[in-house]
Amino acid sequence: MGNLHVLNHPLIQHKVSMMRMVETNTKDFRALANEISLLMAYEVTRDLPLESKEIETPICKTQAKFVAGRSIGVVPILRAGLGMVDGILTLIPNAKVGHVGLYRDPRTHKPVEYYCKLPIDAEKRTLIVVDPMLATGGSAVAAIQFLKDRGCSDIKLMNLIAAPEGAKAVMDAHPDVDIYVASMDEKLNENAYIVPGLGDAGDRLFGTK
Ligand code: PRP
Ligand code: URA
């Protein structure tokens, strides 16, 4: 069974609170999304395997630890997921990036696919799917299924803010996927927006409303 990790480090909580504020402008919102994503990536990669290699310091030869095993892929769910990519790449600059394009139909709240482009060796990588919001979970469940349909099996999900309904939907559909969130909020409202949430993440990141 995948685990749900709430990454409530004080710096993360502080930055999430600033993102929620209605007066936070696009420039600051964007910066905060990347800063939180960087901090979260530190925890998401905590279980990466290490291998020892002999190196030489200015003093002597020694066995030193290096990250081993699978390479990382970051998969933003378009478009709001893009707002998390740079922060993660600051920490993991060699990661490749795939894109899954989904939007929520405003009437049905169901995800509609419009784009999917992955690194050619995606199935050999540990993939971190990123999206600021996990609301009903429809988008994340569908995005993870696309990756599985293309042979990927080592998948983690990273969201800034989640609703309990969305976390449950992902855990039910993809019990093998670990979920990392900065905040587990209270509930969804009648429009399937997260309460208290931060509003429409895509619009706030890109200034489209
Ligand atoms: C938002 C958000 C998620 C989705 C979450 O995207 O970025 O992808 O909604 O909702 P769900 O858990 O109920 O599926 P949106 O559809 O607004 O598209 P956008 O990123 O292009 O703004
Ligand atoms: N998408 C968003 O951007 N915000 C929500 O609260 C729910 C879905």
Catalytic residue flag (residue 47): no
Q: For ligand 2, is residue 133 a contact (CB within 6 Å)? A: yes
What's the gap in Å between 209 CA and the centre of ligand 2? Answer: 14
Per-residue pLDDT reduced to its tens digit, 52-81: 999 999 999 999 999 987 799 999 999 999
Mean pLDDT, rounded, for 166-180: 97
Please state the atom number of ligand 2 nearest to the C-alpha of residue 201: 3
Which residue in 152, 136, 135 sits closest to 100, CA to CA? Answer: 152
Express as a percent the part of the chain with pLDDT over 70. 100
Cα separations in angstroms, 82 against 31, 86, 155: 12, 8, 18
Rounded to two decimals, the pTM is 0.95
88: three-class secondary structure by DSSP: helix
Per-residue confidence (pLDDT) for residue 104, from 0 to 100: 80
Report the alpha-carbon distance of residue 82 to residue 85 in Å, rounded. Answer: 5
Instruction: Considering every ligand atom shown, identify the ligand nearest to the alpha carbon of residue 83 and give its number.
Output: 1
Give the separation between CA 93 and CA 87, rounded to whole angstroms.
10
Find the mean pLDDT for residues 3-27. Answer: 97
Ligand nearest to the CA of 161: 2
Whose Cα sits closest to atom 1 in ligand 2?
200
Contacts of residue 187, defined as CB under 8 A and 6 or more positions apart, other chains included, come to 163, 164, 165, 194, 195
Instruction: With a cut of 90, say whether residue 1 has pLDDT above it.
Output: no
Number of C-beta neighbours around residue 21 at 10 A: 11
Ligand 2 atom showing the smallest separation from residue 192 Cα: 7
Residue 170 is predicted with a pLDDT of 98
| 94-146 tens-digit pLDDT | 999 999 998 888 888 888 989 999 999 999 999 999 999 999 999 999 999 99
Residues 11-16, mean pLDDT to the nearest whole number:
98
Residue 197 Cβ inside 6 Å of ligand 2? The answer reads yes
Decide whether any atom of ligand 1 lies within 6 Å of the 80 Cβ: yes
